[in-house]
Amino acid sequence: MRDDRKVYDLLIIGAGPAGITAGIYAARKKMEILVIAGEIGGQTAWSGDIENYVGYQFITGLELTDKFQEHMRKYGINVLENTYISEIRKENNIVKINAGEFSFSAKTAILATGKRSRPLNVPGEVEFRNKGVAYCATCDAPIFAGKDVAVIGGGNSALEAALQLIKIANKIYIINLGPDLHGDEIIREKVVAAKNVVIMNETKVKEIKGGKLVDSIVVENGSDSARLSVQGVFVEIGLIPNTEFKSDIVKNEQGEIIITRYNETNITGIFAAGDVTDTPEKQIIIAAGEGAKAALSAFKYLARQ
């Protein structure tokens, strides 16, 4: 294990809107910081069109991520990318973090690890990932031009995926576990009206099959089972928090980190912000605001030490 000997003022885990905003606020307070992240932008980078981030009437997720990065660069913030933490703990009043082959120490930390797509957990899903199984319609829809695809899910993210595919794919099956689609009316109407969409309610995916690439899925409706010929499977059944690292941090039933309104976790000096927390409403602008709040809390905590 490579030990970074430095004791940072603040380690920020994650570089989505929460982590990046925390970084900018902390840098402006002249704190010595390091950002450890899987991917810059987080879910924002995978978002399609964004029309509710104040200051931008319309911006794509990709463009907003670029703006975030540009802003972060202005302050010379160091980001260690493609790095995921495996453990966070407190020892002798110092926060210790293990990430891959590295270990880090800091006086404070902010967990802003966000959320990721919930897996379907059916046979074939892992095997065919990127071989027909996709989790991001914004990114991958163009690859399925003229092909038959299935969208799994019945909420807004499934409907948005379907909406993107309507213009590109040949036929789109929406495989929904519930009795009805339950996304926003405005988008549901568009999806239902599309001629190339087949909605299958109360239907469950049992297996994803194929050779080198996906060629079909097996679905079940009550006692009936069917095999649908599809080349793409878009899994859109919600999100799970990225909190698998080892820690004594208290989480709720959904695995989200429980925080106070000052973004404190149960461990003093360790804060959390954004989608990974139990804060109500998961929005880019809310995550950014929470990131700012967490950085200011960490700064005040340090000042009191």
Residues that bind another protein (CB under 8 A): 39-41, 45-46, 48, 60-62, 65-66, 82, 130-132, 134, 138-143, 145-146, 168, 212-213, 232
Shortest distance in whole angstroms from residue 194 CB to another protein:
17
Asked if 113 and 88 count as a contact pair (C-beta separation under 8 A), the reply is: no
| Shorter beta-carbon distance to another protein: residue 151 or 272 | 151
Shortest distance in whole angstroms from residue 305 CB to another protein:
37
| Shorter beta-carbon distance to another protein: residue 145 or 250 | 145
| Shorter beta-carbon distance to another protein: residue 133 or 174 | 133
3-state secondary structure 263-284: CECCCCCEEECHHHECCCCCCH
Asked if 294 and 110 count as a contact pair (C-beta separation under 8 A), the reply is: yes
Shortest distance in whole angstroms from residue 68 CB to another protein:
11
Shortest distance in whole angstroms from residue 135 CB to another protein:
10
The Cα–Cα gap between 305 and 8 comes to: 14
The Cα–Cα gap between 197 and 103 comes to: 50
The Cα–Cα gap between 71 and 96 comes to: 28
Shortest distance in whole angstroms from residue 212 CB to another protein:
6
| Shorter beta-carbon distance to another protein: residue 61 or 154 | 61
Altogether, the residues listed in the chain come to a count of 305
The Cα–Cα gap between 44 and 10 comes to: 23
| Shorter beta-carbon distance to another protein: residue 134 or 295 | 134
Asked if 102 and 4 count as a contact pair (C-beta separation under 8 A), the reply is: yes
| Shorter beta-carbon distance to another protein: residue 66 or 207 | 66
Can you spell out the DSSP letters for 69-135? HHHHHHTT--EE-S--EEEEEEETTEEEEEETTEEEEEEEEEE---EEEPP---TTTTTTBTTTEES
With a CB cutoff of 8 Å and minimum separation 6, the contacts of 143 are 134, 232
Shortest distance in whole angstroms from residue 72 CB to another protein:
14
| Shorter beta-carbon distance to another protein: residue 138 or 266 | 138
Shortest distance in whole angstroms from residue 71 CB to another protein:
16
What backbone phi and psi angles, to 5 degrees, belong to 50?
A: -115, 125
